Amino acid sequence: MKLTEAQIELMRGKNFAAVATLGEDGTPQTSIVWVDTDGEHVLFNTKGGRAKGKNLRRDPRISITVFDAQDPYRYFEVEGTAELETDGAVDHMNELARKYTGKDWDDGGDRVVVKVAPQRIFNYQV
């Protein structure tokens, strides 16, 4: 599936996403994250030891809902399989931090970039 220009624009803005992963017992685990895109994938960043990172290493299925901070009824959902990348993860986290806070994010590393190619997209007013 291919992201639309409106969806890409939403991710390039200062908007948030709700990420859902699956725990070891199948229980959903959700988090709000900073989100970005390379134009083809949905990208976010986490620490490898957090629930999201652990869950995705075991079961890479994921759902991400990106919503407009100014109009939360304007959103879209992506379902797919996550790839975890460590190369460039600290730099990526700093890029996200500058976008959302205006400064770098120094939290000691152990970062991973989560990269999701959309397999299904549900579009709601985007």
Q: Which residue type is seen at 104?
A: D
> Where does the pLDDT of residue 109 fall: very low under 50, low under 70, confident under 90, or very high at 90 and above?
confident
pTM of the model: 0.93
Q: Which of 17-21, 52-56, 74-78, 107-111 has the lowest mean pLDDT?
A: 107-111
Is 70 exceeded by the pLDDT of residue 126? Answer: no
In whole angstroms, what is the distance from residue 21 CA to residue 24 CA? 10
5 three-state secondary structure = helix
- pLDDT, tens digit, 9 for 90 and up, residues 12-29: 999 999 999 999 999 999
* Average pLDDT over every residue of 113-117: 97
Domains of the chain: 5-124 (2.30.110.10)
